[in-house]
């Protein structure tokens, strides 16, 4: 009768009224106990016990049936509590609950220094004994700094480049290829620079602190570094806000906010990059936070309590900020480039939910001479198995066996899917189908789905709760679905066998790998032993990575995945899009911000839904400004949601034109799509060339030209595209001109050929049919780019 859920559903941002808050209190936190009691309750209280001392804390009624008890600020220790409520003459008592407030342990100084050929081991004194801190050098310009708690003797892990160490009475100097460190023996402050230079790039510390409980288990590991008043910090993955991360506390946690994401994101990456040419990466899958509200960046890693733990950080320095991105991708995986056809225009709409509608859209784009190289079909499957076309009839397969194409009798909405795919291929249009990594909650309407679920449960192919029971999604999207465990090779093999006919027999070209964000529960268990805290961020890469491998094998390297969620190393799998957004000017701006932010972490082949996919259709102006930007974006795609409106809301250019009675939506989109095809080879070559350098296609001009950082940062929506282009999207409603901050050197207007001296602001015309684009004057590709722009579509096709 009393409902109290200390951890709720473990949603990282939304607290249930029946939770404990904070869920895991730390010293200094004010603790609250929320619960629900029967409506007849007249009084309620919490009985709190610590060190055999007991006290009662009166609860206050918050809303009907819900109560809240304020326990106040509690010192370190273990606490037990129960809830008691008075119902007329009766008393109801809950089960017993407990939590612990740990104690902070701090590094206090240097105890010992051991020098090895490939690194340095420092034994540090703490308020409770000693710990080890190792410094090694995996790449030129990179230092790996790892604090080990509860475990010593890790010198065997020191691999990489050799280093030289000089001892002084007050300082320790360490030099390796591309980086020099100085450590103050007394304060343990550490500075970093490039060898031979006096300028200090980075100021940090070897000091840190962590939380320890009565059992000696460690969690909440924290360290910090200084922030200069004249610097900006970029990155932390795909973020839909202004570029500078200073002034806020940021969570690094995969999460689906669904539109208006702001600080939350599908693709967080714990990498910060400074315009002062250094970067810091936390090499951990667990959720973390970067507090940038003060003069220091405080980094906290939220690990599950364990007797042995570590805090691994990488410090980067370079000649330019994007040297850090290049080193980061060398450490976390090369940027994967999809086939050339992926760089053409894409078309998609969730209302194309039948073969007739999908073919009609393809036929229309061909008739209107609007180029397309990719068709994405989301609403194709039965929404239960996610591998069978809607309305198909077939005999049931027991024991998890896979179907082949000739097992199906197609009818209804998809009478002959192979004919549709063949039709697309005849016109050089590739086909992607939609996927999610779950077994949907049983709806008792699909017998094959019931068989599949039973088999997956029997074989242990799904993520489990701590007690071994199957985890069911607690999020709002596909609630109560089972989540496939991609750490289990047998589970993956079983899963993909069911989808193999889509490639082998039907000939599809890739999969849109949606979702992956809905793992909540710190004690979840995966087949490989990982717990929930380790899976929250890692799962999207496990899921997308498994699909990527499957698609590459099934297409002999000529397919791709198109994904929403990811984490550190997401650049290993092409490609990504920025999730779901409204059709508004603000969402358009935020999408550009997200793509540039993601690029700092090496995510290169990225896109978004032109002018947003949700709500009423965009205006012609917003649609065309977005299409112009998407023309110079790694992925150019329009897409729209499934809706219940009577009017057609798909984002095809002909529908926008017809709905607004404005033919410019079609004619100018056609021009942008045809321009995209002219530049297809160039974009693909640029992606390949930059990938070889470890760099993304889209980049901040302010980071490419750090000497002009403050000037270039004044234009937050302009970006470099490829090695040659500066793109300045028009993002203001009603604008007829665009003020462009040109980087240093000379730049050439792509459309007119006019040359401009750089490092100044120029005002250029910006009619709806044109997006301001400039080419580096010294580019060896300048003349060919100007020639491609003047070439007609028919000449290009020839």
Per-residue pLDDT tens digits for 17-53: 999 999 999 998 999 999 999 999 999 999 999 988 9
pLDDT at 798: 30
Give backbone dihedrals phi and psi of 310, rounded to 5 degrees, phi first: -150, 160
Closest by CA to 637, choosing from 664, 673, 665, 663, is 673
> Model confidence at 152, in pLDDT bands (50, 70, 90)?
low
Residue 207 carries which DSSP code?
-
Closest by CA to 4, choosing from 53, 55, 46, 52, is 46
Q: Pick the residue with more confidence: 186 or 798?
A: 186
Q: Outline where 333-385 has alpha helix (H).
A: 355-367
Task: State how far the Cα of 186 lies from the Cα of 207, in Å rounded to an integer.
Answer: 11
Closest by CA to 638, choosing from 381, 405, 350, is 350
Q: What average pLDDT does this structure show over 387-406?
A: 94
**Cα(first)–Cα(last) distance of the chain, in Å?**
76
Task: State how far the Cα of 722 lies from the Cα of 663, in Å rounded to an integer.
Answer: 32
Strand partners, 756: 747
> Model confidence at 157, in pLDDT bands (50, 70, 90)?
low
pLDDT at 156 over 60: no
Q: What average pLDDT does this structure show over 311-325?
A: 97
Angle between helices 489-497 and 539-554 (to 10 degrees): 50
**Three-state SS for 316?**
strand
Give backbone dihedrals phi and psi of 694, rounded to 5 degrees, phi first: 80, 25
pLDDT at 484 over 70: yes
Least confident of 59-68, 71-80, 197-206, 442-451: 442-451
Task: State how far the Cα of 574 lies from the Cα of 553, in Å rounded to an integer.
Answer: 15
pLDDT at 9 over 80: yes
Q: Dig out the tokens for 113 from the structure.
A: 């220094």
Mean pLDDT, the chain, as a whole number?
A: 95
Q: Pick the residue with more confidence: 202 or 117?
A: 202
Q: What average pLDDT does this structure show over 462-489?
A: 95
Those residues whose C-beta lies under 8 Å from the C-beta of residue 723, and which sit 6 or more positions away, are 686, 689, 690, 776, 779, 781
Those residues whose C-beta lies under 8 Å from the C-beta of residue 663, and which sit 6 or more positions away, are 657
Task: State how far the Cα of 403 lies from the Cα of 385, in Å rounded to an integer.
Answer: 12
Those residues whose C-beta lies under 8 Å from the C-beta of residue 42, and which sit 6 or more positions away, are 86, 87, 88
Task: State how far the Cα of 694 lies from the Cα of 174, in Å rounded to an integer.
Answer: 27
Q: Dig out the tokens for 447 from the structure.
A: 């017998």
Q: Dig out the tokens for 171 from the structure.
A: 């300082």
Those residues whose C-beta lies under 8 Å from the C-beta of residue 65, and which sit 6 or more positions away, are 36, 37, 38, 39
Q: Dig out the tokens for 763 from the structure.
A: 């005002």
Q: Are 527 and 462 in contact (CB under 8 A)?
A: no
Closest by CA to 338, choosing from 558, 657, 641, 96, is 558
pLDDT at 791: 56
Closest by CA to 326, choosing from 273, 282, 254, 286, is 273
pLDDT at 120: 95
pLDDT at 713: 98
Closest by CA to 340, choosing from 728, 683, 751, is 683
pLDDT at 793: 40
pLDDT at 658 over 50: yes
Radius of gyration in angstroms for the set of CA atoms belonging to the chain, rounded to a whole number: 28
Residue 381: CB atoms within 10 Å: 20
pLDDT at 372 over 70: yes
pLDDT at 270: 98
Q: What average pLDDT does this structure show over 415-434?
A: 98
Closest by CA to 469, choosing from 517, 537, 524, is 524
Q: Pick the residue with more confidence: 748 or 155?
A: 748
Q: What average pLDDT does this structure show over 575-601?
A: 96
pLDDT tens-digit series, residues 512-563:
999 999 899 999 999 999 999 999 999 999 999 999 999 999 999 999 999 9
Q: What average pLDDT does this structure show over 460-478?
A: 94
Those residues whose C-beta lies under 8 Å from the C-beta of residue 782, and which sit 6 or more positions away, are 724, 748, 775, 776
pLDDT at 792: 41
Give backbone dihedrals phi and psi of 672, rounded to 5 degrees, phi first: -65, -40
Active site residues: 514, 517, 580
pLDDT at 198: 82
Whether pTM exceeds 0.85? yes
Q: Are 793 and 678 in contact (CB under 8 A)?
A: yes
pLDDT at 261: 82
Q: What average pLDDT does this structure show over 255-279?
A: 93
Q: How far is CA 584 from CA 269, 590, 617, 620, in A?
A: 27, 10, 10, 12
767-791 burial code (b ≥16 CB/10 A, e <16): ebebbbbbbbeebebbeebbebbee
73-96 burial code (b ≥16 CB/10 A, e <16): ebebeebebbbbbebeeeebebee
pLDDT at 795 over 60: no
Those residues whose C-beta lies under 8 Å from the C-beta of residue 531, and which sit 6 or more positions away, are 304, 522, 523, 524, 525
pLDDT at 796 over 50: no
pLDDT tens-digit series, residues 187-196:
999 999 999 8
Burial of 395 (0-12, 13-18, 19+ CB in 10 A): exposed
Residue 259: CB atoms within 10 Å: 17
Residue 780 carries which DSSP code?
T
Q: What average pLDDT does this structure show over 87-104?
A: 95
pLDDT at 375: 98
Task: State how far the Cα of 244 lies from the Cα of 616, in Å rounded to an integer.
Answer: 32
């Amino acid at each position: 009768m009393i409902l109290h859920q200390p951890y709720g559903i473990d949603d990282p941002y939304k607290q249930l009224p029946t939770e404990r808050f904070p869920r895991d209190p730390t010293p200094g936190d004010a603790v609250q106990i929320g619960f629900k009691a029967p409506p007849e309750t007249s009084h309620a209280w919490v009985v709190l016990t610590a060190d055999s001392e007991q006290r009662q804390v009166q609860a206050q009624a918050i809303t009907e049936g819900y109560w809240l008890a304020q326990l106040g600020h509690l010192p370190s220790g273990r606490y037990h509590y129960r809830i008691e409520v008075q119902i007329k003459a009766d008393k109801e008592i809950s089960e017993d609950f407990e939590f612990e407030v740990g104690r902070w342990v701090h590094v206090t100084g240097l105890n010992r220094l051991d020098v090895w050929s490939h690194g340095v081991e420092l034994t540090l004194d703490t308020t409770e004994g000693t710990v080890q801190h190792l410094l090694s050098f995996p790449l030129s310009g990179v230092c790996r700094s790892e604090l080990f708690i509860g475990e010593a003797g890790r010198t065997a892990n020191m691999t990489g480049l050799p280093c030289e160490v000089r001892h002084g009475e007050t300082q320790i100097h360490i030099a390796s290829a591309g980086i020099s460190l100085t450590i103050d023996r007394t304060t343990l402050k550490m500075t970093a620079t490039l060898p031979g230079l006096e300028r200090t790039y980075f100021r940090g510390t070897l000091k840190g602190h962590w939380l320890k409980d009565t059992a000696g288990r460690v969690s909440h590991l924290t360290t910090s570094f200084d922030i200069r008043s004249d610097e900006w910090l970029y990155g932390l993955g795909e973020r839909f806000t202004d570029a500078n991360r200073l002034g806020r506390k940021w969570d690094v946690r995969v999460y689906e906010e669904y539109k208006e994401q702001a600080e939350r994101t599908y693709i967080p990456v714990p990498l910060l990059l400074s315009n002062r040419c250094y970067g810091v990466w936390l090499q951990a899958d667990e959720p973390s936070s970067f507090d940038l509200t003060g003069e220091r960046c405080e980094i906290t890693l939220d690990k599950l309590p364990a007797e042995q733990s570590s805090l691994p950080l990488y410090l980067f320095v370079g000649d330019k900020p994007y040297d850090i991105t290049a080193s980061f991708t060398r450490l976390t995986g090369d940027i994967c480039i999809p086939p050339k056809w992926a760089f053409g225009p894409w078309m998609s709409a969730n209302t194309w939910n039948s073969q007739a509608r999908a073919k009609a859209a393809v036929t229309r784009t061909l008739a209107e001479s609007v180029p397309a190289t990719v068709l994405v079909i989301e609403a194709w499957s039965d929404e239960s198995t996610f591998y069978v076309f809607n309305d198909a009839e077939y005999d049931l397969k027991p024991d998890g066996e896979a179907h082949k194409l000739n097992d199906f009798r197609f009818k209804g909405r998809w009478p002959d899917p192979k004919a549709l795919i063949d039709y697309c291929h005849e016109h050089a249009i590739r086909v992607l189908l939609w996927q999610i990594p779950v077994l949907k909650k049983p709806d008792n309407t699909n017998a094959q789905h019931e068989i599949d679920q039973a088999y997956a449960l029997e074989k242990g192919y799904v993520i489990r709760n701590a007690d071994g029971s199957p985890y069911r999604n607690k999020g709002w999207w596909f609630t109560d679905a089972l989540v496939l465990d991609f750490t289990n090779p047998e589970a993956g093999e079983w899963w993909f066998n069911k989808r193999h006919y889509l490639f082998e027999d039907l000939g599809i070209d890739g999969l849109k790998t949606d979702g992956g964000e809905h793992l909540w529960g710190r004690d979840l268990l995966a087949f490989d032993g990982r717990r929930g805290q380790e899976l929250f961020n890692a799962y999207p890469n496990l899921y997308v990575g498994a699909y990527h491998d499957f698609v590459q094998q099934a297409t002999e390297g000529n397919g791709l995945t198109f994904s929403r969620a990811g984490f550190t190393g997401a650049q290993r799998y092409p490609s990504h899009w920025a999730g779901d957004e409204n059709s508004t000017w603000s969402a358009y701006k935020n999408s550009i911000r997200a793509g540039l932010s993601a690029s700092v972490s090496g995510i290169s082949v990225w896109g978004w839904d032109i002018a947003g996919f949700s709500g009423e259709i965009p205006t012609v102006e917003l649609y065309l400004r977005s299409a112009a930007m998407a023309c110079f974006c790694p992925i150019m795609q329009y897409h729209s949601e499934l809706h219940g409106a009577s009017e057609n809301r798909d984002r095809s250019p002909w529908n926008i034109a017809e709905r607004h009675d404005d033919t410019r939506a079609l004619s100018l989109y056609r021009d942008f799509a045809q321009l995209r095809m002219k530049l297809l080879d160039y974009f693909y070559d640029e992606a390949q060339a930059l990938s070889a350098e470890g760099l993304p296609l889209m980049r901040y001009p302010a980071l490419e030209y750090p000497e002009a950082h403050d000037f270039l940062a004044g234009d937050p929506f302009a970006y470099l595209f490829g090695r040659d282009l500066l793109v300045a999207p028009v993002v203001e409603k009603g604008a007829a001109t665009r003020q462009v901050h040109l980087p240093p050197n000379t730049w050439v207007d792509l459309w007119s050929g006019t040359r401009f001296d750089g490092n100044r602001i120029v005002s250029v015309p910006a009619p709806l049919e044109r997006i301001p684009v400039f080419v580096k004057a010294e580019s060896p590709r300048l003349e060919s780019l100007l020639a491609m722009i003047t070439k007609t579509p028919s000449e290009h096709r020839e």
